[in-house]
């Protein structure tokens, strides 16, 4: 029997491609960095915590992966421009962008200041716009297409707890942005998709900042009780979805959102 379609190994092979993962030093971002690097991509570990990014990149290179740490404040247009320019300087191209950087300080709206609201929107939504625009301009000029993957949340579809109104607003915004950008960039061969994680066991989730009247541990326990699979997800659960969207397995997928939540939204 003759099989003309690519093998599975070829479909997930990212050799020769360069990826940027924001918030890539820890948690979900690190899980994504590890999977993309394992598949052969050269990966920029972009993070506001350069020390942590350096540690992640160093560990990957010690295991024969291609990784480089870079500092970025995703809400700063000049910083984002530098990030993409330095990535081009390192590997000559950018093929994959994963917008993972995000913050989620918990506080009721009635206790929230305008600065509190703006800080979340600046990182979670403005940052996605800035990084996507800068990377897409390079992908378009390369004339070889590319992949943009936005890490949203199940809160982009349904609120999970009181205290996250600003976070929910940002993630609903990213989902809307993802769909519209997918329409705009499809003619250039650039696919734009999203991943919506549920409760994922990360350092950020366990140290969530809380405002008055908010008990993060109680929120987490109540949330977990409604997950049909009965467990929190691991960063690698999200990373596997990212690998699918970054690879040729997803050659006909754009403008969609993959929910990785253990069935939480079903409850």
Instruction: Tell me the C-alpha distance between 246 and 36, whole Å.
Output: 8
71 is catalytic: no
Kindly provide the b/e burial profile for residues 154-177, where b requires at least 16 CB atoms within 10 angstroms of the residue's own CB.
bbbbeebbebbbbbbbbbbbbbeb
CA angle, 71 as apex, 208 and 191 as ends, to 5°? 85
Options 71, 129, 167, 252, the catalytic residue: 167
Instruction: Tell me the C-alpha distance between 247 and 147, whole Å.
Output: 9
The encoded tokens of residue 61 equal: 């290179």
Of 164, 73, 168, the closest CA to residue 127 belongs to: 73
Instruction: Tell me the C-alpha distance between 10 and 156, whole Å.
Output: 33
Kindly provide the b/e burial profile for residues 83-110, where b requires at least 16 CB atoms within 10 angstroms of the residue's own CB.
bbebbeeebebbbbbbbbbbbbbbbeee
Provide the annotated active-site residues.
Answer: 167
């Amino acid at each position: 029997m003759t099989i003309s379609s690519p093998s599975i190994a070829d479909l997930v092979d990212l050799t020769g491609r360069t990826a940027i993962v924001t918030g890539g030093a820890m948690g979900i971002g690190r899980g994504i960095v590890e999977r993309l690097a394992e598949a052969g991509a050269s990966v920029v570990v972009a993070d506001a915590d350069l020390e942590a990014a350096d540690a992640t990149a160093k560990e990957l290179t010690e295991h024969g992966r291609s990784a480089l740490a870079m500092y970025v404040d995703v809400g700063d247009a000049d910083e984002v421009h530098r990030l993409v320019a330095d990535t081009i300087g390192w590997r000559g191209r950018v093929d994959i962008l994963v917008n993972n950087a995000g913050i989620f300080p918990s506080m009721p709206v009635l206790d929230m200041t305008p600065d509190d609201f703006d800080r979340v929107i600046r990182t979670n939504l403005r940052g996605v716009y800035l990084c996507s625009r800068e990377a897409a301009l390079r992908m378009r000029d390369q004339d070889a297409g590319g992949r943009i993957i936005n890490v949203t949340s199940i809160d982009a579809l349904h609120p999970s707890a009181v205290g996250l109104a600003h976070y929910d607003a940002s993630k609903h915004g990213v989902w809307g942005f993802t769909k519209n950008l997918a329409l705009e960039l499809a003619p250039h061969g650039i696919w734009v998709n999203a991943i919506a994680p549920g409760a994922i066991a990360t350092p950020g989730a366990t140290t969530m900042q809380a405002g008055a009247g908010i008990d993060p541990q109680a929120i987490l326990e109540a949330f977990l009780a409604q997950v049909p699979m009965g467990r929190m997800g691991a960063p690698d659960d999200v990373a596997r979805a990212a690998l699918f969207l970054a690879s040729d397995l997803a050659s006909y997928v754009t403008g969609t959102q993959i929910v990785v939540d253990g069935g939480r939204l079903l409850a």
